Amino acid sequence: MTKVRELILHRGLSSGSKLPSSRDLSRQLAISRNTVINAYDRLISEGYLEVKGKAGIFVSEQIPETALSISTASVDAEQRAFSVTSNKIMPLRHRSPLLYQRPKERLELDFRIGRPAASSFPERLWTRLIVEKMASSGRRMTEYGNPAGLEELRVAIAAHLATARGIRAHADQVIVVAGCEEGLNLIAKVLSPPGSTVYVENPCYKGVPFVFESYGASIVPISVDDEGLCVDELVERERGIICVTPSHQFPLGVTMSLSRRLKVLQWANSMGTYVVEDDYDSDFRYDGSPLPALAGLDKSGSVIYIGTFSKSIGAGLRVGYLVVPEELIGPVREAKALLNNGNPWLEQAVIAEFLSSGGFRSHLRQIRQTYLKRRNTLLEQLRAHFNEITIMGEGGGMHLTWILPDSIYNARALQYECLHVGVGIYSIDDSPAIDFNNMHLRERAIFFGYPCLSETEIVTACKRLAAAATRVLR
């Protein structure tokens, strides 16, 4: 069969050529006639051969490859040379967060922020769930789904949030998105016309101001202290959306106090605006019980909640979700349909089963213990090598912030010194965060994402960090 196909493709057998009968060919090649019949049947089904009644078997007039591959010979030379001129390309306004940046050199010991441990992914269970879902998929893989997301997943997310975050919402309020970035774009598309005002934490995740800027909004930074957003700075300001990370402020890691949570909800309600709550890593809490989510405290429909499975399961899944107030269900669904008309069915179906079966809660319990041990090891090592240290954000999440002592020159100098010994630590300027005007933090703050390194690796990394620090003393 392979030889016949090659002869056809290389014009050894031209279109319309008649082939020997199965009986004659089996006699010529001294092989079973059934083998020849099976080969002919396969080539006929693939379109290389065709049967013309009693006349026999012939090479098809139209070879399959001609319909599958474009012929470069048919492209006019002038067309090949044509290129779109730069004045026809619509540039994106402002900036891109560029979250994915392939390092020039792979660091041996990398405290990169936001990266879960590769070993934490539930590979065996995930494989089993994929096989089970594919076995019962029916027509689901060939049909368009609901742009808002698979119903089973939205029901499972609503049930999970009720117990884990105190959020009482029904499945229609849940919109499945491809991660936080798509969620922010949906919110900006629906609620942030050009010229609108958006308040952001300072410092904050750079994707927030960059997304809203791209829709023409004006960004106003609001300070953060050890109780979270300084809500009093909103007094007397004009109406605008507020974007916050109250559970584990990004990047400093502080938790917004209950009094400030209530204040920001009161302000939003009085101004008739919305609070965007990005709850990116609240699944990990190590010291005490977490405070209720803003969306759980909200009684007036002022909070849009963003959640994700990127930190708790894996960023490669690209599955997150919004929980929107009732009045925004229609507009956000319509915007989602215009954006991509729905997310892949299989990933949604597997996550829905993972949540509803109790597998997700079991998974969280296990990796919380793993991450807690790694956090504790990092804190112990920093204290052992640097004595008195100032740490922020160690109560939960997947990273912590070290405010450098005055004896060390500055954050970037230490960061680059560590690169020479294969250790990745991050200042604000080289992280997914942005600081609008606080030079002290830009000079003194270092971020450690600890889940992706084992305890042994953390010990080794901190030894190298201590040695590097001696080379950047004032």
pLDDT attached to residue 92: 52
Answer yes or no: do 323 and 308 share one domain: yes
How many structural domains compose the chain?
3
Last-in-domain residue among 325, 358, 391 = 358
CATH of the domain at 440: 3.90.1150.10
Which residues make beta-bridge pairs with 222? Answer: 201
CA dihedral (419, 423, 425, 431) positive or negative: positive
Residue 76 forms part of a structural domain: no
> Cis before residue 221, ω within 30 degrees of 0?
no
Answer yes or no: do 317 and 235 share one domain: yes
Average pLDDT over residues 176-198: 94
- Comparison of pLDDT for 158 and 27, the residue scoring more: 158
Other C-beta atoms within 10 Å of 58: how many?
A: 16
C-beta of residue 173 within 8 angstroms of C-beta of residue 194: no
Last-in-domain residue among 337, 358, 379 = 358
Answer yes or no: do 228 and 350 share one domain: yes
pLDDT attached to residue 285: 86
Which range is least confidently modeled, 86-90, 109-113, 211-215? 86-90
Confidence of residue 73 (pLDDT cuts 50, 70, 90): low
pLDDT attached to residue 25: 84
Instruction: Specify the DSSP element, H or E, that contains 221.
Output: strand 218-225
CATH of the domain at 49: 1.10.10.10
- d(C-alpha 274, C-alpha 325), whole Å: 10
Answer yes or no: do 328 and 430 share one domain: no
Answer yes or no: do 149 and 294 share one domain: yes
- d(C-alpha 451, C-alpha 112), whole Å: 9
Question: Which pLDDT tens digit goes with each residue over 402-429?
Answer: 999 988 889 999 999 999 999 999 999 8
Within 8 A by CB and 6+ apart from 88, the residues are none
C-alpha Rg value of the chain to the nearest Å = 29
| pLDDT at residue 81 is higher than 60 | no
Answer yes or no: do 366 and 435 share one domain: yes
Confidence of residue 141 (pLDDT cuts 50, 70, 90): confident
- Average pLDDT of the chain is 88
**DSSP assignment letter at 438:** -
Residue 98 forms part of a structural domain: no
Percent of all residues in the chain with a pLDDT value above 70, rounded to a whole number: 91
Q: The domain containing residue 36 runs over which residues?
A: 2-67
Answer yes or no: do 189 and 226 share one domain: yes
Average pLDDT over residues 54-79: 68
Average pLDDT over residues 102-122: 82
- d(C-alpha 90, C-alpha 81), whole Å: 22
Answer yes or no: do 369 and 393 share one domain: yes
Answer yes or no: do 266 and 325 share one domain: yes
Question: Which pLDDT tens digit goes with each residue over 2-41?
Answer: 777 777 777 778 888 888 888 888 888 888 888 888 888 8
Alpha-helical segments (H) within 105-203: 123-135, 151-164, 180-191
pLDDT attached to residue 1: 64
pLDDT attached to residue 46: 84
CATH of the domain at 266: 3.40.640.10
Residue 43 forms part of a structural domain: yes
Residue 403 forms part of a structural domain: yes
Residue 216 forms part of a structural domain: yes
- d(C-alpha 129, C-alpha 460), whole Å: 37
Residue 90 forms part of a structural domain: no
Answer yes or no: do 224 and 239 share one domain: yes
Residue 82 forms part of a structural domain: no
Of 246, 252, 248, give the one whose Cα is nearest residue 229: 246
- d(C-alpha 334, C-alpha 20), whole Å: 60
pLDDT attached to residue 64: 75
pLDDT attached to residue 95: 64
Answer yes or no: do 6 and 154 share one domain: no
- d(C-alpha 4, C-alpha 179), whole Å: 50
User: What does each C-alpha distance from 334 to 146, 151, 215, 218 come to in angstroms?
Assistant: 11, 16, 18, 25
Residue 340 forms part of a structural domain: yes
SS3 204: strand
pLDDT attached to residue 87: 52
Last-in-domain residue among 313, 332, 358 = 358
Answer yes or no: do 367 and 343 share one domain: no
